């Protein structure tokens, strides 16, 4: 009797792409976990465990704690002021305060090190004004744990600013008017009504900022602060021990997972329910006198510290150095090529996952969780997973193999950044559109290509731009996987800065920042169109 293999049904066939997408993203993370648990790590791990692990762990925890505090102090008051009040310059600060998001942490570290160093313009101006020598005064040291936390807070506070501002915008005006009618001052309304209601959104933005801070390598390495990510790359580069690096990566993953669980527990079911179904706009309250001056001064200082001063210094140093180095322009071409490949792969994976989310199911949930996990994991950890897989294959880490591995790691790291805009576009589309297509006899595949795909593509332009810029900025994975003598802008800036050639590092660092400005400006423009009492 002949046995026939049953054919796969149409629903099963539709699940294959999302399953493959989820596996492509989850594989390097799973490999690192298995390697970290199964392999001993050898003498290098014993040395790291006995002499360095505590320094790495306490350094990471201290940086995260101080960065969190600085992000909250920078972002929440600024978001409240530009959302609820009118003061001189408010319209400009509404979008200027988001611009630091365009500059990676390592770029700001280079700029601030040059600005605040003994030979930099700040200390030189102080000595010229006072006649002191360098030994006659104390000046904050940027190459320290507080200095690293300050640099990371400058580039990451926009995550908290954006989520806090969106929460303030979407709160019901009626609720705040009720508090004011009961005699609450503006300050008490903020502390007792607006801030508790916005706490879940602020916590979500802070979680994103701290995951990025935990993943930082370039700024920590340049400023000489021992962190877990710094230790992972050092274990691979200096000790040549992928197993020891995998063990450190396992510790970092455990730290990130603990942090995410604690954040979710603290947030719990926090939220707010508005007692009125009517949402209406009201004019922002006008500030005058010292209050208006203070609001303008606060926003000006924040923008100057986080963006204007460091980026202005990069412009000045790049003009001093000139554009003579052809290596920078070669690196620009390499960066565009590699970031385009990584963004294209991430875009395809994000599109598959976003379309599957609309259909729901366990595989869609798995793929979305895998994408979110990939975003939360540092590039150095993902690079270790890719290295382990390449080691099992009959290939070497060179040429097209290394570039393909880098594009894969970029896609794993940033697919979530493309998934969410497209999933949000699909969520906004009325369910009745798909139901109408089904009632007209359209097959599931035809509904996907004729209805869901065009809707998802409405969020595709923003997603593609974000994916490209994020891939352009990635440093540790690029350092670990790039082919020999094949530089990107981030690698070239890192190499110049490591050799104390900050003037030469200024141009590639500035080009990375300029590439990130376009999506940030578009995001700022969209936020500026929202108004208090309206939909965020």
| Three-state helix/strand/coil letters over 134-150 | CCCCCCCCCCCHHHHHH
Q: Between these two residues, 523 and 348, which has the higher pLDDT value?
A: 348
Handedness of CA 249, 251, 253, 256 (dihedral sign): negative
Measured in whole angstroms, the distance separating CA 379 from the mean position of its chain's CA atoms is 12
Residue 448 pLDDT level (bands cut at 50, 70, 90):
low
Neighbours of 440 (CB within 10 A): 9
Distance CA 107, CA 445 (A): 46
Q: What is the mean pLDDT of residues 380-395?
A: 84
Q: What is the mean pLDDT of residues 387-416?
A: 86
Distance CA 192, CA 184 (A): 9
Residue 222 has pLDDT above 80, yes or no: yes
What average pLDDT does the structure give for the chain?
A: 79
Q: Between these two residues, 87 and 198, which has the higher pLDDT value?
A: 87
3-state SS assignment for residue 333: helix
Which pLDDT belongs to residue 274?
47
CATH superfamily of 16-272+287-529: MetI-like (1.10.3720.10)
Largest CA distance in the chain: 101
Q: Pick the range with the lowest mean pLDDT from 107-116, 282-291, 400-409, 450-459.
A: 450-459
Q: Which residue has the tokens 């208006």?
A: 292
Reported as a single tens digit per residue, the pLDDT across 460-502 is: 666 677 778 888 888 888 888 888 878 888 888 888 888 878 8
Reported as a single tens digit per residue, the pLDDT across 423-440 is: 766 665 555 555 555 565
Distance CA 129, CA 20 (A): 64
Residue 231 has pLDDT above 90, yes or no: no
The tokens of 68 are what?
Answer: 């969190």
Among 9-13, 43-47, 159-163, 236-240, the range with the most confident prediction by mean pLDDT is: 159-163
3-state SS assignment for residue 285: strand
Distances (CA, A) of 223 to 105, 141, 276: 11, 10, 51
The tokens of 482 are what?
Answer: 């790039």
Reported as a single tens digit per residue, the pLDDT across 478-489 is: 888 888 878 888
Q: Pick the range with the lowest mean pLDDT from 3-17, 231-245, 292-306.
A: 3-17
For residues 167 and 113, the answer to whether their CB atoms sit within 8 Å is no
Distance CA 44, CA 31 (A): 20
Distance CA 244, CA 249 (A): 9
Residue 67 pLDDT level (bands cut at 50, 70, 90):
very high
Reported as a single tens digit per residue, the pLDDT across 118-140 is: 888 888 888 888 888 888 888 88
Closest C-alpha among 260, 246, 261, 290 to residue 38: 246
Residue 397 has pLDDT above 90, yes or no: no
For residues 483 and 398, the answer to whether their CB atoms sit within 8 Å is yes
Q: Between these two residues, 53 and 527, which has the higher pLDDT value?
A: 53
The long-range contacts involving 397-406, CB below 8 angstroms and separated by at least 24 positions, are 397/481, 397/483, 398/483, 398/484, 399/483, 402/481, 402/482, 402/483, 402/486, 403/338, 403/341, 403/483, 403/486, 405/481, 406/338, 406/342, 406/477, 406/478, 406/481, 406/482
For residues 513 and 519, the answer to whether their CB atoms sit within 8 Å is no
Helix, strand, coil share (%) of the chain residues, nearest 5: 80, 0, 20
Residue 443 pLDDT level (bands cut at 50, 70, 90):
low
Which pLDDT belongs to residue 442?
56
* Domain chopping of the chain, boundaries: 16-272+287-529
Residue 108 has pLDDT above 50, yes or no: yes
DSSP string covering 60-126, please? HHHHHHHHHHHHHHHHHHHHHHHHHEE-TTHHHHHHHTTGGGGS-HHHHHHHHHHHHSTTSHHHHHH
Q: Between these two residues, 444 and 65, which has the higher pLDDT value?
A: 65
Reported as a single tens digit per residue, the pLDDT across 167-220 is: 777 765 555 655 555 556 666 666 666 677 777 778 878 887 888 888 888 899
Half-sphere exposure (Cβ direction) of 113: Cα atoms closer than 13 Å: 23
Residue 7 pLDDT level (bands cut at 50, 70, 90):
very low
Q: Between these two residues, 102 and 177, which has the higher pLDDT value?
A: 102
Which pLDDT belongs to residue 69?
95
Measured in whole angstroms, the distance separating CA 339 from the mean position of its chain's CA atoms is 16
Helix axes 145-170, 105-116, angle to 10 degrees: 130
- Name beta bridge partners: 85: 285
Which pLDDT belongs to residue 351?
82
For residues 425 and 459, the answer to whether their CB atoms sit within 8 Å is yes
Q: What is the mean pLDDT of residues 242-268?
A: 74
Q: What is the mean pLDDT of residues 63-69?
A: 94
Q: Pick the range with the lowest mean pLDDT from 10-24, 43-57, 466-480.
A: 10-24
């Amino acid at each position: 009797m002949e046995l026939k293999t049953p054919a796969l049904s149409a629903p099963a066939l539709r699940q294959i792409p999302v399953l493959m997408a989820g596996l492509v993203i989850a594989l390097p993370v799973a490999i690192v976990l298995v390697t970290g648990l199964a392999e001993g790590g050898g003498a290098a791990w014993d040395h790291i465990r006995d002499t360095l692990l505590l320094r790495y762990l306490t350094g990471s925890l201290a940086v995260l704690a101080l960065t969190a505090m600085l992000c909250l102090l920078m972002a929440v008051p600024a978001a409240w002021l530009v959302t609820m009040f009118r003061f001189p310059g408010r319209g400009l600060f509404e979008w200027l305060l988001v611009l630091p998001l365009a500059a990676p942490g390592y770029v700001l570290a280079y700029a601030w090190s040059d600005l605040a160093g003994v030979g930099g313009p700040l200390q030189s101006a102080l000595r010229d004004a006072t006649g002191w020598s360098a030994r006659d005064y104390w000046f904050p040291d940027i190459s320290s744990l507080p200095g690293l936390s300050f640099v990371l807070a400058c580039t990451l506070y926009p995550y908290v600013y954006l989520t806090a501002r969106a929460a303030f915008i979407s709160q019901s005006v009626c609720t705040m008017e009720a508090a004011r009618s009961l005699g609450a001052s503006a300050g008490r309304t903020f502390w007792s009504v607006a801030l508790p209601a916005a706490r879940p959104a602020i916590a979500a933005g802070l979680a994103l900022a701290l995951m990025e801070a935990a993943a930082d390598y370039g700024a920590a390495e340049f400023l000489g602060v021992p962190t877990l990510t710094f230790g992972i790359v050092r274990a691979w580069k200096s000790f040549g021990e992928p197993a020891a690096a995998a063990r450190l990566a396992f510790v970092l993953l455990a730290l990130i997972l603990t942090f995410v669980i604690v954040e979710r527990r603290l947030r719990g079911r926090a939220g707010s329910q508005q007692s009125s179904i009517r949402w209406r706009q009201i004019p922002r309250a006008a500030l005058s006198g010292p209050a208006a001056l203070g609001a303008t001064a606060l926003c000006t200082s924040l923008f100057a510290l986080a963006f204007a001063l460091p980026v202005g210094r990069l412009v000045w140093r790049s003009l001093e150095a000139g554009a003579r180095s052809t290596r920078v322009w070669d690196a620009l071409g390499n960066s565009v090529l590699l970031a385009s490949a990584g963004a294209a792969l991430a875009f395809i994976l994000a599109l598959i996952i976003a379309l599957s989310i609309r259909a729901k199911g366990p595989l869609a949930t798995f793929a979305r969780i895998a994408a979110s996990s990939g975003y939360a994991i540092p590039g150095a950890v993902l690079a270790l997973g890719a290295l382990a897989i390449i080691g099992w294959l009959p290939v070497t880490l060179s040429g097209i193999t290394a570039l393909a591995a880098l594009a894969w790691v970029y896609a794993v790291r940033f697919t979530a950044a493309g998934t969410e805009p497209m999933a949000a576009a699909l969520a906004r589309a009325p369910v009745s559109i798909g139901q109408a297509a089904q009632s007209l006899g359209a097959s599931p595949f035809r509904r996907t290509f004729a209805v869901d795909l065009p809707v998802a593509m409405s969020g595709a332009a923003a997603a593609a731009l974000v994916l490209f810029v994020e891939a352009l900025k990635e440093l540790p994975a690029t350092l670990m996987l790039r082919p020999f003598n094949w530089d990107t802008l981030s690698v070239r800036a890192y190499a110049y800065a490591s050799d104390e050639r900050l003037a030469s590092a200024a141009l590639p660092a500035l080009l990375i920042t300029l590439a990130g400005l376009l999506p940030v400006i578009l995001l700022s423009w969209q936020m500026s169109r929202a108004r208090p009492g309206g939909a965020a």
